[in-house]
Copies of this chain bind each other. A is one copy, B any other.
């Protein structure tokens, strides 16, 4: 039988030295083992908070490497902090599993702490319980000056639309895992599977974009669906040139339609999509060079015609904005793609 406390103590209690406190960045004053953890944000800053839930068979294959699962479970949450321009501080973990499988827990916690240490993010609380399936819920905390947080509602007409890295790699990896396709070069398959199973949250990029980017989010559900969140919240529309979207090299041998589907609707890449005024192009290129991250302009934010804004009423949620909000193009002209958003590609 699982015992909450023995599990927490054995696998999830890290020596404090792994997360040393500094004057500038105090560690949690009280962590695992009490009713609550205690945390204060950096002086004058806010805590950015995000929660995700990952369910076996839905968000990951039941036989995925537990090390990768631990790594990715925290990575996707840190990606939300990155999209906000927040610096990771701490996280809580709630975990259910059918039985206390020690080798699974050892590998899972090892992957989890690998990601945690890379970003100085301390585990401050948790709950482990038995349940019929593996279910992981992580809540992350980061520090950000409130006025510099990269929000979804801050895109402005005239902004460039940027993406980091290359897209479609995680969807290619999912296709391999599902047996939808195979690649000639095993090295390509390994790259695609790593993109799926071990995404790297763009934490340093998000922090560097404070005060430079307008709106930002991370691409978890696919570029089309995620960009739509920015457009709805900012009450704007966009033109995107498909030919400019940087493609994962692993897609090269797939048919063009599959490639486009992967880069436009493939989720799980956890790259950042952000908008920024034309005046800061040089700053952004400098950041990309310094961080060795490909940063690519893929389109432009445009205003909504007044009558379309009126049609949507004054609702800030803008649920009822008339579609389409994204005008897709390639080098030959307009391309017809759905823009009502895409749900996750499901592993089941």
A137 CB within 8 Å of chain B: yes
Residue pair B217, A51 in contact (C-beta under 8 Å): no
A199 CB within 8 Å of chain B: no
Chain B residues with Cβ below 8 Å from A293 are none
Which A122-142 residues have C-beta < 8 A from chain B? 124-127, 129-133, 135, 137, 139, 141-142
A311 CB within 8 Å of chain B: no
Number of copies: 2
Residue pair B96, A53 in contact (C-beta under 8 Å): yes
Residue pair B126, A51 in contact (C-beta under 8 Å): yes
Which A267-283 residues have C-beta < 8 A from chain B? none
B-contacting 9-mer, from A33-41, A165-173, A249-257: A33-41
Which A206-245 residues have C-beta < 8 A from chain B? 216-218, 229, 233
Among the interface residues A37, A45, A218, which one has the most CB atoms of the partner chain B within 10 A? A37
Which residue of the partner chain, among B35, B94, B141, B149, contacts A218 with CB atoms under 8 Å? B35
Residue pair B152, A35 in contact (C-beta under 8 Å): yes
Closest chain B residue to A34, Cβ basis: B152
Given contact pairs A35-B81, A49-B92, a sample of 14 additional A-B residue pairs in the complex whose CB atoms are under 8 Å apart: A33-B233, A33-B317, A34-B153, A35-B80, A35-B152, A36-B49, A38-B46, A40-B41, A40-B45, A49-B141, A51-B94, A55-B96, A55-B131, A58-B129
Chain A interface residues toward B at CB < 8 A: 1-3, 5, 9, 13, 29-30, 33-41, 45-53, 55, 57-59, 80-81, 83-84, 86, 92-96, 124-127, 129-133, 135, 137, 139, 141-142, 144, 146, 149-153, 216-218, 229, 233, 317, 319, 341, 343
